[in-house]
Amino acid sequence: MNPIAVELGPFTIYWYSLFVLSGFLAGYFLLYREFKNQEMSLDFLSNYFFYVIPIVIIGARIQYVIFRWENYQNKLSQIFAIWNGGLAVHGGIIAGVIFSIWYAKKHKINIIRFLDMCAPSLILGQAIGRWGNFFNQEAFGYPVDAEFLRSVFIPEFIIEGMNIKGVYHHPTFFYEFLMCMLGFVVIMIIRHRTKAKLGIQTALYFIIYGISRFFIESLRADSLMMGSMRVAQLISIVMIIGGIAFLIKQLKTEKTRYYEEKKPEKKKKGRKNE
């Protein structure tokens, strides 16, 4: 599997970088459409993406480097080589959510509504970005028989891509891609229910992604570890509990709907011609 997409003289473009960028772009255009639908400031959105992209990447890289420090302590320059892979999704989520809350508050935008708007864009971007792991042959699972993968209808090109040094592995990147796409569809269905309450999309994102990642992580052969515990599973548990608690709170107490009903303008009565 060749991780290089294009070589232009001294410049090298990696598949990993292309898919990460594609994930951000897909998320941006989805959010752009929603901002237009809700007649919100597109300048706010452009400025937000200008800052949030590097913040998310830095957050994801920091988590990965912290829990893989033995690989970098003697090669500090490699910390910046993100095109070789090594972004921990949860680190990016944490950094992105913290920044999003701060940025919305600074610009006096309803924080929960803004997080709801971002939720489907985030999970769609994650789904697309996972394909970068395929070309880097990383984020794969434990060894498995190729016939098992064929029996659960994994595409042949993915099966062969997961043939690493003569051993087939669970394509956990692909499992996560499928679960993220399922989560995206569920959240979008909820979004277009006119009675959907504020905060439901955000809660569902944390619950769906948390559950998906918790179980998929158990198949990963390259998990970041904290002692005997998988870091991603610990964070996923927090996401699930937090998402369920937030969902219950919003269902019980929130009266505001995601799509605000616009009251029809009253027509002014003019004088009748006498």
Q: What is the pTM of this model?
A: 0.91
- What distances in angstroms separate CA 92 from CA 79, 100, 138, 145, 192, one per listed residue? 16, 12, 18, 33, 27
Task: Evaluate whether residue 268 is within a structural domain.
Answer: no
DSSP H helices, the chain, are 15-37, 42-67, 89-106, 111-129, 131-136, 146-151, 156-161, 172-191, 200-217, 231-253
Task: Evaluate whether residue 245 is within a structural domain.
Answer: yes
Say if CB 83 and CB 17 are below 8 A apart: yes
What confidence score (pLDDT) does residue 265 get?
A: 52
Task: Evaluate whether residue 66 is within a structural domain.
Answer: yes
**pLDDT digits over 13-58, tens only?**
999 999 999 999 999 999 999 999 999 999 999 999 999 999 999 9
Say if CB 206 and CB 243 are below 8 A apart: yes
Domain span at residue 162 reads 4-253
Task: Evaluate whether residue 273 is within a structural domain.
Answer: no
Instruction: Examine the pLDDT at 274 and tell me if it is beyond 70.
Output: no
Task: Evaluate whether residue 93 is within a structural domain.
Answer: yes
Say if CB 120 and CB 152 are below 8 A apart: no
Tokens of 33: 């459409």
Task: Evaluate whether residue 249 is within a structural domain.
Answer: yes
**pLDDT digits over 168-213, tens only?**
999 999 999 999 999 999 999 999 886 889 999 999 999 999 999 9
**pLDDT digits over 91-113, tens only?**
999 999 999 999 999 999 999 99
Task: Evaluate whether residue 270 is within a structural domain.
Answer: no
Domain count, the chain: 1
